[in-house]
């Protein structure tokens, strides 16, 4: 259901920001802000653009344009691959630095 996708976008927002959504609003204010005034949570500018795109797509005003959970799964897998590659590259670079230090020290 596309309303579940909206809620999932909020969960993703919580994960990337490590914040509680709408923590200054009561339940009725959240319903009014989101349901009637189309307000969205603010996404910090330092968040990876791929995460921003995924979260914003979950919050599309037109529920029919929101991604399916299958589409979200595919996007998450791509992000996982990207992250794994970045970690591998960082480890490789760190290993080369340590290797160079031991050669220089010896």
pLDDT one-digit tens code per residue, 40-69? 999 999 999 999 999 999 999 999 999 999
Q: What confidence tier does 4 reach under pLDDT thresholds 50, 70, 90? A: very high
Can you tell me which residue has the tokens 């691959």?
81
Does 8 score more than 90 pLDDT?
A: yes
CATH number of the CATH domain containing 52: 1.10.510.10
Q: Which of 41-50, 71-80, 88-97 has the lowest mean pLDDT?
A: 88-97
- What is d(CA 65, CA 90) in angstroms, rounded to the nearest whole number? 37
Instruction: Evaluate if pTM is beyond 0.85.
Output: no
- Say how many domains are in the chain: 1
The whole-angstrom separation of Cα 10 and Cα 56 is 10
Q: Residue 63 contacts by C-beta under 8 Å, 6 or more apart in sequence?
A: 2, 3, 5, 6
């Amino acid at each position: 259901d596309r309303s579940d996708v909206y809620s999932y976008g909020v969960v993703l927002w919580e994960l990337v920001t490590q914040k509680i959504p709408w923590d200054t609003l009561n339940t009725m204010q959240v319903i009014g802000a989101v349901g009637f005034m189309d307000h969205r949570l603010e996404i910090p500018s330092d968040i990876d653009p791929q995460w921003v795109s995924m979260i914003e797509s979950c919050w599309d005003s037109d529920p029919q344009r929101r991604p399916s959970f299958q589409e979200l799964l595919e996007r998450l897998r791509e992000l996982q691959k990207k992250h794994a590659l970045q970690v591998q590259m960082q480890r490789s670079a760190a290993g080369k630095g340590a290797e160079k230090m031991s050669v220089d020290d010896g």
